[in-house]
């Protein structure tokens, strides 16, 4: 029995969920609208401000799809009502970030600057304060997209374990290693 799939999703005020004939779920809220294609085996019912998902059988495939689509719809509901935010911190001497519209310009110690074109669904803000590391803030209503873009930015210069330099999420713990001097 799927513990996640059986939980009903409570809809906040001003959020509506509709199911099309093509098994496309549309979630509308104050921050925007999201769409998700779902498997035709999973039934979605919207009743008295709750979304309930039902599966036809207890096969392993139906159980996994049940929990998956429940989690995706819950993320969509939270996204259109509250939104998602990811913060990345640039740790290193001379590392800079600058947001110009939908372009993010990064200086990460390479011979050239890296320019990333971000999707229109993501809003970017880069701030640098004196005596602190630059911070990139990404906001969006799509949890999957914002996580993918944040991971892509982090992969440009992942944090290294010796000095801790690189791009990391704010609050992320980097396990440090001792260098060559520790072997003596």
Q: Is residue 184 part of a domain?
A: no
Q: Structural domain of residue 88, as residue ranges?
A: 84-169
Query: 63 with 97, same domain?
Result: no
From 81, 112, 128, give the residue that closes a domain: 81
How far apart CA 71 and CA 151 sit, in angstroms, is 20
From 30, 56, 81, give the residue that closes a domain: 81
Q: Is residue 71 part of a domain?
A: yes
Per-residue pLDDT of 112-135, as tens digits, reads: 999 999 999 999 999 998 889 999
Mean predicted confidence (pLDDT) in 42-64: 91
Query: 17 with 58, same domain?
Result: yes
* The 123-127 sheet, strands edge to edge: 123-127, 135-140, 84-91, 166-169
Beta bridge partners of 115: 105
The total domain count for the chain is: 2
Query: 146 with 106, same domain?
Result: yes
pTM assigned to the model? 0.89
Q: Is residue 179 part of a domain?
A: no
How far apart CA 140 and CA 104 sit, in angstroms, is 15
Query: 27 with 93, same domain?
Result: no
Q: Which two tokens stand for residue 67?
A: 């929990």
The pLDDT assigned to 180 comes to 80
How far apart CA 97 and CA 174 sit, in angstroms, is 21
The pLDDT assigned to 1 comes to 47
Query: 89 with 102, same domain?
Result: yes
Per-residue pLDDT of 136-184, as tens digits, reads: 999 999 999 999 999 999 999 999 999 989 999 999 999 999 888 765 5
The pLDDT assigned to 183 comes to 59
Query: 24 with 77, same domain?
Result: yes
Q: Is residue 111 part of a domain?
A: yes
Confidence class for position 35, pLDDT limits 50, 70, 90 = very high
Helix residue ranges, H only, 29-169: 60-81, 143-155
88 CB-near residues (< 8 Å, 6+ apart):
135, 136, 138, 150, 153, 154, 167, 168, 169, 170
Q: Is residue 17 part of a domain?
A: yes
Q: Is residue 35 part of a domain?
A: yes
From 81, 98, 128, give the residue that closes a domain: 81
Mean predicted confidence (pLDDT) in 14-27: 91
How far, CA to CA in Å, does 121 sit from each of 76, 145, 154, 178? 14, 8, 19, 42
CA distance from start to end of the chain: 56
Mean predicted confidence (pLDDT) in 5-20: 91
Per-residue pLDDT of 69-97, as tens digits, reads: 999 999 999 999 999 999 999 999 989 99
Q: Is residue 32 part of a domain?
A: yes
CATH of the domain at 23: 3.90.930.12
């Amino acid at each position: 029995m799927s513990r996640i799939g059986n939980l009903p999703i409570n809809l906040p005020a001003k959020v509506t969920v509709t199911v099309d004939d093509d098994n496309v779920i549309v979630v509308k809220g104050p921050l925007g609208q999201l769409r998700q294609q779902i498997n035709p085996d999973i039934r979605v019912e919207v009743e008295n401000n709750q979304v309930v998902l039902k599966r036809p059988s207890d096969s392993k495939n139906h159980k996994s799809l049940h929990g998956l689509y429940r989690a995706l719809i819950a993320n969509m509901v939270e996204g259109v009502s509250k939104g998602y935010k990811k913060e990345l911190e640039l740790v290193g001497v001379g590392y800079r970030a600058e947001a110009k519209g939908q372009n993010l310009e990064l200086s990460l110690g390479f011979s050239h600057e890296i320019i990333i074109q971000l999707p229109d669904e993501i809003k970017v803000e880069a701030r640098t304060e004196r005596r602190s590391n630059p911070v990139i803030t990404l906001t969006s209503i799509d949890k999957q997209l914002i996580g993918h873009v944040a991971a892509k930015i982090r992969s440009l210069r992942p944090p290294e374990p010796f000095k801790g330099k690189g791009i990391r999420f704010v609050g992320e713990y980097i396990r440090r290693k001792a260098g060559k001097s520790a072997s003596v």
